[in-house]
Amino acid sequence: MYEWIAQQPFLAALIALVMLGAVFGALLGFASEKFKVEGNSVVEDINAILPQTQCGQCGYPGCRPYAEAIAEGEAINRCPPGGEAGIAQLADLLDVEPIPLDEAHGEEAALPSVAFIHEEDCIGCTKCIQACPVDAILGAAKQMHTVITSECTGCDLCVDPCPVDCIEMVSEELTLASWHWDLPSRDDSATIIATDRIATDRDAA
């Protein structure tokens, strides 16, 4: 046998390659079965990062549809409630460069806000109740409505449907308990990095 192989180097090489191919193919096949990823976990991961305000500012009807769209290649900068932090997390997850928020879809709010119904003006039309994606508005037809503040995501979807404009978005107030020190400012000349400086120069020009 060995002698035969030694005499037929070409065939020997061929056999060896075929055998190697078979072994590795089997290994890969086994691995793909064994370590199969269940479901579309990327969408789940993206959805976990999105703020779940369901506000639709991204142009999709809710956070999950946007998560699916991102998984399909949609831009990651269309979520104003998530803000720069959200974009950074998405960029990290998807291993792409973070890009600035697309202002066309709204701006990042400095403070979170919640809807507030001016109850004396409310006519009880239930339109806001139907608009609310998280059922945070309480009320019945011809009864005054009110917002359950703790459930409100601040998506402002209820503001437009109100026929009497009695819903207002109210920013959360800064209290002694919620106040905190900010990170030391990085724009002092000592720590500014060159690219920033060039950018500011350009802005100034």
Partner 1 sequence: MRKIWDFHGGIHPPENKHQSLTQPIRRAGIPAELVLPLNQHIGAPAEPIVEIGQKVLKGECVARPAGFISVPVHAPTSGTVTAVEERQVAHPSGLATECIVITSDLEDRWVEHAGIPDWTSADKATLLACIRDAGIAGMGGAGFPTAVKLGVNPRGGSIDTLVLNGTECEPYITADHVLMRERAEEVVAGTRILQKLVEPKETLLGVEDNKPDAIEALRRACEGTDMDVVVFPTKYPSGGEKQLIEILTGRQVPSGGLPADIGVVCQNMGTAVAVYRAVVHGEPLISRITTVTGEAVAQPGNFDVLLGTPMSFLLELSGFSADRLQRLVMGGPMMGFTIPDAAVPVVKTTNCILAPTEKELPPPPPAQPCIRCGLCAEACPASLLPQQLYWFSRGKEYEKLEAHNLFDCIECGACSYACPSNIPLVQYYRASKAEVTQLKRDQAKSEHSKTRFEARQERLQREAEEKEAQRRARKEAAEARARQAAEAGSAEQDPIQAAIERAQAKKAAAQEGEETPQRPAVAQLDPAQLAIERAKAARAVSADQSPAEKARANLERLQERLAKSEAKLTASREQGAEATIIDALEAAIEKLRPKLEVAQQEVDALGDEAQPKPAPAAEEKDAAQLAIERAQAARAATADQSPGEKAQANLERLRQRLAKSEAKLAASREEGADDSIIDALEAAIEKLRPKLEAAQREVEELKAGQEA
Partner 2 sequence: MALMRVTSPHAHGPLSTARVMQTVLLACIPGVAALTWFFGYGTLVNIAWACLVGLASEAIALKLRRRPMGMYLKDYSALVTATLLAIAMPAYAPWWLILVGVSFSIIIAKHLYGGLGYNPFNPAMVGYVVLLISFPVEMTSWAAPRGVNAIEVPGLLDAVKLCFVPGSVDAVTMATPLDLLKQNKTLAVDALWQQNPQFGRWAGVGWEWASLGFLAGGLWMLYRRIYTWHAPVAMLASLTLMAALFDDGGAARSTGSPLFHLLSGGTMFGAFFIITDPVSSAVSNLGRLVFGALIGVLVFLIRSFGNYPDAVAFAVLIMNFAAPFIDYYTQPRTYGHRQGGTASRKGAP
Contact string 21-60 vs partner 1 (x = CB under 8 A): --------------------------x--xxxxx------
Closer by beta carbon to partner 2, 141 or else 194: 194
Contact 125/100 with Cβ under 8 angstroms? no
| Candidate residues 181, 187, 202, 203; the one interacting with partner 2 per rule CB under 8 A | 181
Query: Among partner 2, partner 1, none, what binds residue 194 when CB lies within 5 to 8 Å by partner kind?
Result: partner 2
Closer by beta carbon to partner 2, 118 or else 197: 197
> 167-171 and 146-147 as β-strands: parallel, antiparallel, unpaired?
unpaired
Q: Residue 186, interface with partner 2 (CB under 8 A)?
A: no
Question: What DSSP letter does each residue of 8-58 carry, written as one string?
Answer: -HHHHHHHHHHHHHHHHHHHHHHHHHHTPPPS-HHHHHHHHHS------TT
Query: Among partner 1, partner 2, none, what binds residue 57 when CB lies within 5 to 8 Å by partner kind?
Result: none
Q: Residue 190, interface with partner 2 (CB under 8 A)?
A: yes
Q: What's the rounded Cα separation, in Å, for the pair 157 and 167?
A: 10
Q: What's the rounded Cα separation, in Å, for the pair 18 and 24?
A: 10
Q: CA-based Rg of the chain, rounded to a whole angstrom?
A: 28
Q: What's the rounded Cα separation, in Å, for the pair 98 and 81?
A: 16
- Tokens at residue 168, please? 């207002």
Q: What's the rounded Cα separation, in Å, for the pair 114 and 170?
A: 5
Cβ count within 10 A of residue 45: 15
| Candidate residues 99, 111, 198, 199; the one interacting with partner 2 per rule CB under 8 A | 198
Please state the closest distance from residue 43 (CB atom) to partner 2, in A: 23
| Candidate residues 68, 126, 168, 169; the one interacting with partner 1 per rule CB under 8 A | 126
Contact string 186-205 vs partner 1 (x = CB under 8 A): x-xxxx--------------
Residue numbers at the binding site for partner 2 (CB under 8 A): 181, 189-190, 192-194, 197-198
Residue numbers at the binding site for partner 1 (CB under 8 A): 47, 50-54, 62-63, 85, 88, 120-121, 123, 125-127, 129-130, 133-143, 148, 151, 153, 161, 163-164, 174-176, 179-184, 186, 188-191
